[in-house]
Chain A
Amino acid sequence: KNEVEQSPQNLTAQEGEFITINCSYSVGISALHWLQQHPGGGIVSLFMLSSGKKKHGRLIATINIQEKHSSLHITASHPRDSAVYICAVEAGGTSYGKLTFGQGTILTVHP
């Protein structure tokens, strides 16, 4: 079993739909990262969370440390949101900056 599991692996939506991507992890962490990867490879950091909830534009990320679970929500989805969304955890201490990644969720938003 992977330390970081994401669901779903693939997600197709119509423009305007509300989207949720889930991430579960099995280790103690100091932070959880949500990342976006476009075709071609470049990865952009969306959020870094250690507790609670963060919002940036149409993106919302939440984390429940007790349940070892995080969600990424996209409101009013748009075709430009199509990308791979990756959850990654950071164990902290000597593991500062060392990320363990989920397998990614491929999101396709149709106009």
Chain B
Amino acid sequence: ETGVTQSPTHLIKTRGQQVTLRCSSQSGHNTVSWYQQALGQGPQFIFQYYREEENGRGNFPPRFSGLQFPNYSSELNVNALELDDSALYLCASSKQGQQYFGPGTRLTVT
């Protein structure tokens, strides 16, 4: 158990729709990172939030956006979904360098 939860577990959306994925991390974990993992690939860094501010972004377009809240929860929003957005989305919180991953949300775009 990492103490990091994600919801929903699975999600099916249609191309062009918008989706919000949620992550809840442990108390005191001020940093949360989001990753996209396509089938058969390693995860790719989307962005990181630290104390509710974006703190770095990977090579993802602006239609990927996020929020972090004071209660250590965060959101990943994706607008105008494309078929290639189908993937496992992982969040990870950090404390003292140690990474704690959530179980992931599997998004399928049809």
Contact = CB atoms under 8 A, between A and B. Distances in A.
Given A41-B104, A44-B2, A99 B45 contact: yes
Interface of A: 4, 31, 33, 35, 40-45, 48, 86, 88, 90, 94-104
Given A41-B88, A42-B104, A43-B90, A98 B99 contact: no
B64 interface: no
Contacts of B101: 35, 42-45
B62 interface: no
B22 interface: no
What are the nearest 4 A-B pairs in CB distance?
A101-B42, A41-B104, A43-B101, A97-B94
Given A42-B102, A99-B35, 9 more contacts: A33-B99, A41-B88, A43-B101, A44-B2, A48-B99, A88-B43, A100-B45, A102-B42, A103-B41
B108 to A, nearest CB: 13
User: What does DSSP make chain B's interface, helix, strand, loop or mixed?
Assistant: strand
Contacts of A35: 99, 101
A43 B103 CA distance: 7
Contacts of A44: 2, 101
Interface string B65-92: 0000000000000000000000010101
B45 A104 contact: no
A37 B64 CA distance: 25
